[in-house]
Amino acid sequence: MDVLYTIFSPKLMSQIFVGLSRTVILFIVASGLSLILGVLRIPNIWHGSLYMVGAFMTFTISGAFGGGSVGFWMALILAPLGVAFVSLIAERSFFQHLYEREHLMLLLLTFAFSLVFGDLVKMVWGMEYKSVPVPRIFQGSIHLFGGLPFPRYNVFLLVIGPVVAVALWLIVNKTKVGKISRAAAVDREMVGAVGINVSWVFAFVFMIGCLLAGLGGALVAPTVNVSLGMDHTLIMEAFLIVIIGGLGNIWGALLGALIFGLAQSLGILIWPQFGIVFPYAAVIVVLLLRPTGLLKSTW
């Protein structure tokens, strides 16, 4: 019993939980990215900007409602929707015209969008860090495992994560739109030939994917300094997660996010200076063993 206690020490357990909370955010963003990559074959670099926009919008919206709990909940609903709306406009106006061309062009277009939005965020919100207050019910910590405090907000995240995962799974597997999009991912032309308007299915999928990015940003806002540049690191991590999970595979995104989040927090525990390198090393190991990702991809 004592041995177990030493192995599963409070410090370790609390690091694991921290890692898991980070996993949730990574999963939500990565699942959106994976969806877009799997169905539309777009490597969406713009995703990072949308995450950042979601966070900044949360700051504004929650501030507009007084900065309290109401503000937070309103932001949690409105920010992702706002992001989704913007993404829909972008898809209809720009992206849909490039589907026939090479991936490289689509990738560069999403990069162009991220450049533009990087500046737009700077223009609208300025260059300083922003803070989003944690809503009252989630303030403070609960005590686990020998007294180490664990923020309540992180518990909230650990609950939200599976909820989003299940909701996404239901949409993709149980709704008509979801089934069509899965078919379209495999054979775009056939789906069109059967008379279904593939174009709007793509728009829908793109919107959902981007909504997830906005949601991730909104959820992460109370826990970090909302700042410029948060798009850059996150998009890199999200891409790596999608790759190791398997393109287009939602559960793959979850698995990848788990590996990434846990590798990071455990890494920091073992080797503080270079802990952050662990997830990247883990990614490389996975890719060397299974270059197409751990779970089945839709490509």
Partner 1 sequence: MLKNTLEGKGRIVGGAVIVLLFLFPLFLPRFYIYLVSIILLTGLLATSLNLPLGYGGIFQFHHAVFYGVGAYGAALTITKSGLSPWFGFVVAPLTAALLSLIMGLICIRLSKLYFGMLQISLGSLVWIIVYRWYSFTGGDNGIHGIPVPNVISSPNSAYYFTLLVTLLSLWALYKIINSPFGSALQGIRDNPVRSAMIGINVKLHQLVVLVIAGFFAGVAGSLFIVVDTAVFPDMLFWTLSLEVLIMCLLGGWFTFLGPMLGAAITIFMRTFVSGFTDYWTLPLGILMMLVIFFLPNGILGYIEEKLHGSLIEQTVKE
Contact, 109 vs 98, CB < 8 A?
Answer: yes
In whole angstroms, how close is the CB of 59 to partner 1 at the nearest point?
Answer: 20
DSSP assignments along 10-21, one per residue: HHHHHHHHHHHH
Burial of 127 per CB tally in 10 Å (0-12, 13-18, 19+): exposed
Is 284 near partner 1 (CB under 8 A)?
yes
For the chain, state the CA radius of gyration: 19
In whole angstroms, how close is the CB of 283 to partner 1 at the nearest point?
Answer: 5
In whole angstroms, how close is the CB of 224 to partner 1 at the nearest point?
Answer: 18
Is 281 near partner 1 (CB under 8 A)?
yes
Is 105 near partner 1 (CB under 8 A)?
yes
Can you read off the two tokens belonging to residue 239? 């891409």
Is 112 near partner 1 (CB under 8 A)?
yes
Stretch that binds partner 1, among 91-99, 158-166, 208-216, 217-225 (CB under 8 A): 91-99
In whole angstroms, how close is the CB of 233 to partner 1 at the nearest point?
Answer: 10
From 5, 64, 122, 137, residue interacting with partner 1 (rule: CB under 8 A): 122
From 11, 101, 136, 143, residue interacting with partner 1 (rule: CB under 8 A): 101
Helix (H, G, I), strand (E, B) or coil at 194: coil
Is 123 near partner 1 (CB under 8 A)?
yes
Give the whole-angstrom CA distance, residue 255 versus residue 174.
Answer: 21
Give the whole-angstrom CA distance, residue 49 versus residue 90.
Answer: 13
The torsion of the CA quartet 148, 154, 159, 163, rounded to 10 degrees, works out to: -150
In whole angstroms, how close is the CB of 128 to partner 1 at the nearest point?
Answer: 13
What kind and span of H or E run contains 151? strand 148-151
Interface residues with partner 1 (CB under 8 A)? 43, 45, 94, 97-98, 101, 103-105, 108-109, 111-116, 118-120, 122-123, 127, 232, 236, 239-240, 243, 273-274, 276-277, 280-281, 283-284, 287-288, 291-292, 299
